[in-house]
Amino acid sequence: MLERFLEQQPAIMATLMSKDLRKGVTDVGTLSESDIANMDDIVQLMGPVKMATTVMCEEDQPTLSVIAPLQAKLLKHLQPCEDDSTLVAEIKRVMASDLSTRYRGTQDALNIASALDPRFKELPYLEKEDREQVYTKLVFEAEVSHQMQAMGNQEEDEGSSSTKLSGFNEETTAPNESPPCKKKALDALFGDSFTQRERKSTSETARAEVLRYRAKDALPLTENAMKWWRSQEKELPVLSTLAKRYLCIPGTSVPAERVFSTAGDIVNAQRSVLQPDHVDQLIFLKKKSVVIEE
């Protein structure tokens, strides 16, 4: 609003000075020069805030990983300067005080989400020691995720093996299975030369995967992080699963609020007899139509 007023200021001032407007009016309220100067300072101050709001209101990639870098960027912008007027300095102080405590208690989750986003994985808004602490926590998260995946795969294997063996007798031997004596002979001949690799522990696997991930080039800011992780599922299976768990969290409630707005457009006075199932289907088609077109 202030930006538009400054753009139209010459026309507004000319209208206020018009004789037709002043007929029968003893006092016409106008802004002083100090008010206009303060307005200009506020517009410059709120420019990055407006841009950040626009970015977070998008529906393409406003994920949880954007919050921490965006918060650090705004806090840097709100640092006091010597040229600030009294009004601007007070606005900066109040906004920085509120923003610095806004995500208290969830900062670790926000930093891990940013580390899992290939666009922000360098974490330039943090100090070097803080970055290493974030990646240490990420290794622990990856280790826990890897253990859960291993347990799930083991349960699936046990279930499938029990199903396969249910139709056979215990004394039945598979046709392609080697006799025990042949296995012992092969082991005696080649056991010293051909040995099986030892399986890495979950912590070693998680740490190695995180190192491979950090060695990759950062993704450009214009690219899609989820599509990048889809292409890395085979090379980084543990982190890709962890990334889906974090990056699927929306950074704002704007998409959910837009769903309610869409529902209000669908269910109106002319369509008040729609069944709930049909309403759900229409909302789903409306929100997914862009994805289908792409």
In the numeric block, the tokens 């709100």 are attached to 78
Instruction: Please tell me the predicted confidence (pLDDT) of residue 156.
Output: 63
The mean pLDDT of 116-121, rounded to a whole number, is 93
φ, ψ dihedrals at 138, nearest 5°? -65, -40
Count of other CB atoms within 10 angstroms of residue 228: 16
φ, ψ dihedrals at 106, nearest 5°? -120, 15
- Residues 167, 169, 174: CA angle, nearest 5 degrees: 85
On the question of pLDDT at 212 being above 90, the answer is yes
DSSP 8-state secondary structure symbol assigned to residue 272? T
pTM, two decimal places: 0.70
Count of other CB atoms within 10 angstroms of residue 121: 22
User: Which one is predicted more confidently, 275 or 173?
Assistant: 275
DSSP codes, 41-58: HHHHHHHHHHHHHHHHT-
φ, ψ dihedrals at 276, nearest 5°? -55, -40
* Three-state DSSP state, 68: helix
Least confident of 1-5, 63-67, 129-133, 199-203: 199-203
Distance CA 218, CA 120 (A): 7
Encode pLDDT of 238-282 as tens digits: 999 999 889 888 888 877 787 788 888 888 888 888 888 988 888
pLDDT band at residue 147 under the 50/70/90 scheme: confident
Rg, the chain, Cα only: 31
Instruction: Please tell me the predicted confidence (pLDDT) of residue 172.
Output: 47
Instruction: Please tell me the predicted confidence (pLDDT) of residue 168.
Output: 47
Give the N- to C-terminal CA distance of the chain in Å, as an integer: 35
Count Cβ atoms within 10 A of the Cβ of residue 239 and give its class: 0-12 exposed, 13-18 middle, 19 or more buried.
buried
Per the CB < 8 A criterion, the answer to whether 117 and 247 are in contact is: yes
* Helix pair angle (202-215, 128-165), 10° resolution: 130
